[in-house]
Structure 1
Amino acid sequence: MKIHDRVTTRNISTLLRAGAALAGLLLSAAVLAGNGSDPLAPYEEDGPYTTTRHSGGLGCTIYRPRNLGSNHPLIVWGNGTGGTPTTYGSGLEHWASWGFVVAAANTSNAGSGDEMLDCIDYLQNSSYAGNIDFSKIGASGHSQGGGGTIMAGRDARITATAPVQPYILGLGHQTSSQYQQHAPMLLLSGSLDTLAGPTLNQAPVFSRVDVPVFWATLNGASHFEPVGDFGDYKAMTTAWWLYQLSGDSDAASLFTGACSACGLSDWDVERKGL
């Protein structure tokens, strides 16, 4: 009986250890599956570059990788009314961590897009111009700066745009610019935005522009969602730049073909030309 008791105890101990190991494997699998279910999750994380911020003359603030290599794409940024680059500083640093040189116009009235384009001119004459790929330039901005993004999008140097909750009912924006786009556009809205609401400010843009457009409305987002680190727009915009400016095929799959971002529960998506 004593021998039988020892065998039974050993068996129970073995079963408990096996059960714990199996539970660990199942938990790990569940975690991996949870991460895999959100195709935007990798772009929430900072990229591989450490970043630095410095003045770009009087007109721009530059966010960029601290140690520049070659052929870094460029993004120009326009602030919302009353905002400065530091209003969105964490988000701009996030883009820079993915290898982009980001030039934010030092203006709180970016609706014309002119100051954003001036930052391109500044960088073309900078000491590190040779590290930038000026054939890959994105334009983005929030609110009035989103309207300025569309204005800047008329410039042939711009190869992709991402207006965030653009305001198009004045403040320097011209409706005609919406018919003069030549670069693919990520158009971002917030369902609870009462200052630049989707019906009056983004729906007309989607219908008027004659370029590929991915229009994504974030459910529950107010007009101030992008302030700080871009909120839940951070991952979507990062993936867009990697697709459009860096040719990243994984990022492209979020927007094209089967479109893994199209079925996300927090977003309502319309697209054309993609």
Structure 2
Amino acid sequence: MKARFMYDTYNARLRRIIKRYIPTQILKQLDQKKRKNNDHFVAQLYNPATPPWSSPNIWEEIVQYYQKIKQPVIFEYGTGLSSLRHFENLIKKGGGIFIGVETNPDWFWALIGAMAMKASQLGSSLTITKSLLSGEPAAARAIDVSIRTESVQANIKLRTEATEYVAALDQTCDVIIIDGAYRRLCVNTFLETGHLKPGGLLMLMEAGRGSPDWWEGKLYGEADYSAEVEKLLALGGVLMDGNGLDSWPNCQKRSPSPLSYFYPMEACKLIYPLEKID
């Protein structure tokens, strides 16, 4: 597998280099085409057979942690299929709170629809309420939607501005997952506020982005949060390799090589200690 991984990594890095020389206008057209294909991802969201967009071993690390807690509080920066699966797990478990924050309005509403459908499929009665935030101009684009069943509450927040997005984490949680926009800010805000119970679980996804060993090659700017990873490691965090995004049973290939079968530094896991970083 090592030879295969090196070959696929080389091709991925070569594509990234070539992309630097593609005219900006063409890149914009390609990006627009990609956005038009969002229906493909929404279809996966509504397909109960689609596994989460993470490696099985990384996913199980998170789920096994909160399954032992009677009423877990889970917070996720960046919503996705994982958000729906966490919500489903809490309903089946019989209790808990899920909080997710999203920057994309279209995906925000798609997820809410999928959650409502999932609750109905599981036989839960539900109540959905929407509230708009007031105050600063940016708050005009801030929406909170609460989905309540008999035993579970999901609070999904739309925040299109960085400050409001990061500040959406405003309560103490059992699990915090950072898997969306503004990851550097999210990590540093977590370290400053400590909104995680002692012994709580933090998972920073795609933790290897700033490493020279990252499968695409070292990334820079906002995509490089290696300094934040080092802070988490100093607190006792550990880097975890994923066993492949497509390693789920009966999962057809849906991810670029080599991530489909091996995902180096997919996550940084931290069981939060009592002390904080100075």
TM (norm. structure 1) is 0.28
Larger radius of gyration: 1
Higher relative contact order (CA 8 A, sep 6+): 2
TM (norm. structure 2) is 0.28
